[in-house]
Amino acid sequence: MKKSKATKNAESYQTRALDSARAEFAMETALRRAIENGQLNLVYQPICDLATGRVSGFEALARWTDDQGLRHEPSRFIPVAEESGLIVPLGRWALDCAVRTLAEWDVLAGGNCGVTVSVNLSPIQLQRDSIPALVEQALASAGVPGERLKLELTESALIADPDHIARVLMALKRLGVTIAMDDFGTGFSNLASLQKLPIDVLKIDRSFVTGLLTDRDKVAIVRAILGLSQALGMDTVAEGIEANEVGQTLAALGCTYGQGYAYARPLEPHEAYAFLRARNA
């Protein structure tokens, strides 16, 4: 008997769902091994003062090259890490690695190298791990003061358990750590929680920065975010600045800091240090 079109569609849907589940499981297995074998590394993207071009800090971003030399994008492996719980060991490693690198730059500079390092935190880590204790440990073992560390969290981290998040953030503030809201404007955080929580920095999402020069709606959104952050006494960092003119426009609108390919791509640690020396000389 011939299969109906609906049956065929259902079967091909099932095949595809199974294929993608298999691919995800394969990636999870490979990622687990990569974490165990130290196959991940961090690259560092400068965050610059838009008015002077000086480097104020670096954002640490995870990279993974597998046994076959294949590079995986964080936009693919971070979600897999989150779903599988692997984000917990991955996140611990990233935190340790980033503050250790900062300590190495301090040694190279013969003291304080003058920048901060920003580490991304997943909402899953905030739920499952004792972040303040981990942060305290990482800072102590690297000998780096909390004031040199920034933690980036997304709006989705605020939704799950607001009281828990408030306690975690307060504990982090006691360590001197700065809190940044990543990808701001793309999530569902309410303005009350922004005002109540100890958030120091808003990072304007790349989607509002790309095409800023030709899209008046984006200018309006950026202005609104800048107004909000000024009113709440926060700093702003614009993400994804790919052209110098965009950086200049953002500076004219009152944005203080920016990062993007116009300044530098994410760099290997030694390149990042060289960039810092050249820019801040």
Pick what 62 binds: ligand C2E, Mg ion, none; C-beta below 5 to 8 Å, kind-dependent. ligand C2E
Q: Which of residues 20-79 bind Mg ion (CB under 5 A)?
A: none
Whole-angstrom CA distances from 100 to 8, 168, 254 are 55, 23, 33
Query: How many chain residues bind Mg ion (CB under 5 A)?
Result: 5
Pick what 227 binds: ligand C2E, Mg ion, none; C-beta below 5 to 8 Å, kind-dependent. none
Q: Which of 156, 232, 210 is nearest to 221 (CA)?
A: 210
Helix (H) or strand (E) holding 210: none
Pick what 261 binds: ligand C2E, Mg ion, none; C-beta below 5 to 8 Å, kind-dependent. ligand C2E
CB of 76 to ligand C2E, least distance (A): 9
Binding window for Mg ion (CB under 5 A); candidates: 83-91, 150-158, 225-233, 263-271 = 150-158
Binding site for ligand C2E (CB under 6 A): 45, 61-62, 73-75, 78, 91, 94, 120-122, 152, 182-183, 206, 239-242, 259-261, 266
Query: To which residue do tokens 């090259």 refer?
Result: 65
Q: Which is nearer to Mg ion, 66 or 96 (CB)?
A: 96
Whole-angstrom CA distances from 58 to 64, 73, 82, 86 are 19, 19, 24, 24
- Token couple for 50: 């838009």
* 106 is a contact residue toward Mg ion (CB under 5 A): no
Q: Site map for Mg ion, 176-205, x if CB under 5 A?
A: ------xx----------------------
DSSP state, residue 53: -
* 120 is a contact residue toward Mg ion (CB under 5 A): yes
d(CA 105, CA 114): 9
Contact 31, 69 (CB under 8 A): no
